[in-house]
Amino acid sequence: MKPVTEHDVRTSFVNCSKGEAKRLHLPKDFADLPWPDLDFLGWRDPGAPGRAYVVAEHGNRLVGVALRAASGAARGFTSRSMCSLCLTTHGSTGVALMAARRRGDPDRYASVGQYLCADLACSLYLRGQRRTSVGADYDESLTLEEKVARTRANLHAFLDRVTRP
């Protein structure tokens, strides 16, 4: 991902008000993010853990989406889940169901949900810069470039569903 500014991020959101975008908390390490290793910018709001954000290059522009992490009972200690973007397997709470309000939908309850890495660090898991507690449970024959392309395609499909009128 190309480096972006705070202004770029705040003006990219398509499913929240300008006021909400202005008030959101950026990642603490925003100035030091490893931009060349990111396929998208994703983070949980440190002031409100149930909120999360994804910003990505999509359709020749920067698109930001505000997400809500579903709350619910913790799964069992031995349970595993898989992120639907990067296909990384996590233990117990490493994957969260996140929902995005659809852009411009008059029904304010219309949303699109997706199971995502709870910390939204898909890019770092793909590149082996972050590890899960369960480790890899299967070997893939795909190259890193192919995994990145698959993750981006999955992300773009999600963003298409959120931004579709």
> pLDDT tens, 123-153?
999 999 998 877 655 678 999 999 999 999 9
Which domain covers residue 98, as residue numbers?
A: 6-163
- Residue 43, pLDDT > 60, answer yes
Residue 19 included in any domain: yes
φ/ψ of 112, rounded to 5, equals -125, 130
Q: Token digits for 8?
A: 């770029």
Residue 1 included in any domain: no
- Residue 75, pLDDT > 90, answer no
Residue 17 included in any domain: yes
The C-alpha atoms of residue 42 and residue 98 are separated, in whole angstroms, by: 12
- Residue 158, pLDDT > 80, answer yes
**What's the structural domain count of the chain?**
1
Residue 123 included in any domain: yes
Residue 43 included in any domain: yes
The C-alpha atoms of residue 8 and residue 14 are separated, in whole angstroms, by: 13
The C-alpha atoms of residue 100 and residue 16 are separated, in whole angstroms, by: 10
Average pLDDT score over the chain:
89
Question: What's the rounded mean pLDDT across residues 15-30?
Answer: 93
Question: What confidence score (pLDDT) does residue 1 get?
Answer: 93
How many CB atoms are closer than 10 A to CB 121?
18
pTM: 0.90
DSSP state of 28: T
